[in-house]
Chain A
């Protein structure tokens, strides 16, 4: 991971945010991410994110669960320890279905949660920089990476003209690192430090 420069702008209204995202993309700036306090419908399309593959992963976990349940139960009751239960056959498919269903759901649910955490880089003690603490409260926070070609001052003026509030530049770690939020950032006590605002 690398320490990079970012220009950060906050928006208080979706109606301002959407045209701003569009303008930033057409102007060719490198959009790092947009942080919102709640899921905003259509923002992923506006940002040009690709469709998630999480559901494909979920399907694969699901059929893994189905296969595990059926093969394990049929191994136990047919070859490892055959038992006569109420005169039922050794491969009683209807009796296997509830457990197969449960394992399918369990595998796909747990697998998808873990995959989601991996994709979002969420885990205990994994820490990421928070650009503006109000992104979890009432502000939509747009973060644009400052690359070699970007003129930061021009970008700031551009964001202000697009309706951004509290525009500032931050030099921070762009990826994750191990740490604890309660120890390192006293988020709600100190204001986020701007590099050259």
Chain B
């Protein structure tokens, strides 16, 4: 039984090549986009990709938290995968923090209008919001949020590895369940107060600072959560295909597929709830968000978004057989990840650089982040056995039957 993962040279090379592409694109971007309006796209591309990939990796920690709190047993056999993915949060969190601070403190007012104090003074809506939406609050929220995420993912990971050294007894089993439940409970509270509310307001919704939507945070959360499931599936199938995780089978894949199916529909539900109320009320201060997206240049992306993220998973994942087939799950996971990357693109793009462009720069930066994730996650997978052998629910996971 192959229980210890070794990073193949090919994977390491791929991750370096992708990171190289990212850096190269960034360099080209710095030279191609400069000046007052030109640098907007430079920052928007960085903001879009770093937020998206950070939230996607953080969704793995949410996966651990939610399944643990639900006393789920089925995920134990591959739990080390979401754990390893969540260890990319410290790296991506620091990258995002640097990007956010640069945007705010170098005064990139084409990304966030509200960083310009002079502008806020003459703007009624923004001056009302200034108590919340200012540089100090933004920085404080970023520090607390990213700091708390890093603390919790490191804590959960450390506990899980530590438990491998314990004995296999009822007493230690009870202790594993108890302390995982407590720490996951803490994490879920932090996660829901950040990703479920303030984080998307500050990082993404404040791009369109005059506009507000109560659905926005949930919508962002589900977008990252369903992509997070897709990322877990990709790593799971990769390890399975290379002869690791012999105890993972179609049953586990099937349940992950159900998650991807269900939350694709839930994403659409939130997307529609946000869209329909604004469409129905038809008030100028609200439709300003959808104007460039539905009736402007971004119209094709807007409908492509719905096609890729709703129609495709709905029809494709409906059948049992596609959810139990490794190749078809790889295909749909890539589609979902690409679709939600596109979703984040249309959240950031129309509010910043306005015009629909071919996203070569955004895709290049995205490739860089994918490289970072592959590098960090494969490295983390080598740091512990692939199956947490002392977990009391391990047997339940092995004999799992959907």
What is A's interface to B at a CB cutoff of 8 Å? 41-42, 51, 55, 59, 86, 94-95, 97-98
Task: Assess A97 versus B280: contact at CB under 8 Å? Given A41-B401, A59-B318.
Answer: no
Knowing that A97-B272, A97-B276, A98-B276 touch, tell me 11 more A-B residue pairs with CB under 8 angstroms.
A42-B401, A51-B320, A55-B320, A59-B318, A86-B282, A94-B272, A94-B275, A94-B276, A94-B279, A95-B276, A95-B280
Contacts of B320 in A (CB 8 A): 51, 55
CA gap between A98 and B318 in the complex, in Å: 21
Give the one of A42, A86, A94, A97 with max B CB within 10 A. Answer: A94
Sampled A-B contacts (16; CB under 8 Å):
A41-B401, A42-B401, A51-B320, A55-B320, A59-B318, A86-B282, A94-B272, A94-B275, A94-B276, A94-B279, A94-B280, A95-B276, A95-B280, A97-B272, A97-B276, A98-B276
Main secondary structure of the interface of B (DSSP, over half): helix
CB closest residue in chain A, given B321: A51
> Interface size (B, Cβ < 8 Å)?
9
| Residue ID in chain A nearest B272 by CB atoms | A97
B395 CB, nearest partner CB in chain A, Å: 15
Interface residues of B (CB under 8 A from A): 272, 275-276, 279-280, 282, 318, 320, 401
A98 to B320, CA, bound (A): 27
Cα A97 to Cα B268 in complex, Å, equals 12
Residue of A with least CB distance to B400: A41
Query: Across the interface, which residues of B come within 8 angstroms of A95, CB to CB?
Result: 276, 280
Complex CA–CA separation, A86 to B280 (angstroms): 9
What chain B residues lie within 8 Å of A42 (beta carbons)? Answer: 401
Bound CA span A55–B261, Å: 15
The residue on A at minimum CB distance from B275 is A94
**Whole-angstrom CA separation of A42 from B402 in the bound complex:** 10
Q: What residue in chain B is nearest A55 (Cβ atoms)?
A: B320
Q: In the complex, what distance in Å separates the CA atom of A95 from the CA atom of B280? A: 8
Question: How many whole Å from A23's CB to the nearest CB in chain B?
Answer: 22
On chain A, the residues within 8 Å of B279 by CB distance are 94
Chain B residues within 8 Å of A51, by CB: 320
CB-defined contacts of B276 to chain A, threshold 8 Å: 94-95, 97-98
B275 neighbours in A (Cβ, 8 Å) = 94
Q: In the bound complex, how far is the Cα of B318 from the Cα of A97, in angstroms? A: 20
A117 and B401 CA atoms in complex are apart in Å by 26
**Minimal Cβ-Cβ distance residue in A for B273:** A98
With a cutoff of 8 Å between Cβ atoms, the chain A residues found around residue B282 in the complex are 86
Give Cα A42–Cα B276 distance, bound, in whole angstroms. Answer: 44
Minimum CB–CB distance for A77 against chain B, Å: 15
Query: A95–B279 Cα gap in the complex (Å)?
Result: 9
Q: Which 4 A-B pairs have the closest CB atoms?
A: A94-B276, A41-B401, A94-B279, A42-B401
Query: Bound state CA distance, A41 and B276, in angstroms?
Result: 42
Once the chains are docked, how many angstroms separate the CA of A59 from the CA of B319? 10
C-alpha spacing A94/B294, complex, angstroms: 13
Please name the residue on chain A nearest to B401 by beta carbon: A41
